[in-house]
Amino acid sequence: MRILIVEDDVNLNRQLAEALKDAGYVVDQAFDGEEGHYLGDAEPYDAVILDIGLPEMDGITVLEKWRGGGKTMPVLILTARDRWSDKVAGIDAGADDYVAKPFHVEEVLARIRALIRRAAGHASSEIVCGPVRLDTKGSKATVGGIPLKLTSHEFRLLSYLMHHMGQVVSRTELVEHMYDQDFDRDSNTIEVFIGRLRKKIGNDLIETVRGLGYRMQAPGNGH
């Protein structure tokens, strides 16, 4: 899962980025509205954390431009505690949720998890596919009740496939959501990670759809 943080407070941006990376997310950072708008327009994100009071271009304008351009990724806005008008303007501009400053980072993480789940059509913090259970809150996975030992890349891949269960996901899409903008991306490495995952969770849960990509679903589920 790939997140964009648009926040001009360098310390707060870094604090959020570190917490999100620790939780298993891939994170890109922007420190003004113009840079944030460009990244959100050019790159595919699973969610965005967007400050309202930004230099160069304010957060409301950034959000309106994204929505006007057809961008549908979930957006969590950060507002000043005493500015209720910012919250209203943000929601009206297309924000999915908001957090008022100062806040606990854990609250932001919880709201981001919820936004990503809802966008993928999952109501619970636990996603189940056959014997595999993904705990989005704890960033853990089990198979048959036994904890899975996964590398960070394997966890990101499993998480993305489980959030999009039943859907065919291309290798390009997986690469775009597993690595940040500066990473030297190679879609061939996805095959390696798919092979490792199959050894850990079983071969019958991740199907190769020839020429299109991969689909994860429990055995017996129709296409």
Q: Between these two residues, 123 and 144, which has the higher pLDDT value?
A: 144
Output the pLDDT for position 75: 98
Would you say 130 and 198 are in contact if contact means Cβ atoms under 8 Å apart?
Answer: no
DSSP 3-state assignment of 26? strand
Q: Where are the beta strands (DSSP E) in 12-159?
A: 26-30, 47-51, 75-80, 97-101, 126-129, 132-135, 140-143, 146-147
In this model, does residue 207 exceed pLDDT 90?
Answer: yes
Give percent above pLDDT 70 in the chain. Answer: 96
Is the pLDDT confidence value at 222 over 60? Answer: no
Q: Which residues contact 210 (CB under 8 A, 6 or more apart)?
A: none
Each residue's pLDDT tens digit, 61-93: 999 999 999 999 999 999 987 778 889 999 999
pLDDT band at 218 (very low <50, low <70, confident <90, very high): confident
43-64 pLDDT, tens digit per residue, is: 999 999 999 999 999 999 999 9
Average pLDDT over every residue of 110-127: 92
DSSP conformation class of 148:
P
Q: What is the mean pLDDT of the chain?
A: 92
* Amino acid 180: pLDDT: 75
User: Residue 139: CB partners within 8 Å, gap ≥ 6?
Assistant: 23, 24, 155
**174 CA to centre of own chain:** 12
Q: What is the pLDDT of residue 84?
A: 84
Higher-pLDDT residue of 152, 94: 94
Q: Is the pLDDT of residue 101 over 90?
A: yes
Work out the average pLDDT over 100-127.
93
Query: What confidence score (pLDDT) does residue 112 get?
Result: 97
- What's the pLDDT score for residue 80? 83
- In this prediction, residues 166-188 reach a mean pLDDT of 82
Sequence-separated (6 or more) residues with CB below 8 Å from residue 4: 27, 28, 29, 30, 36, 39, 40, 43, 45, 47, 48, 49
From 42, 55, 56, 105, select the one nearest 76 (Cα to Cα): 105
pLDDT greater than 90 at residue 7: yes
| pLDDT value for 187 | 64
Nearest to 133 by CA among 122, 146, 120, 142: 142
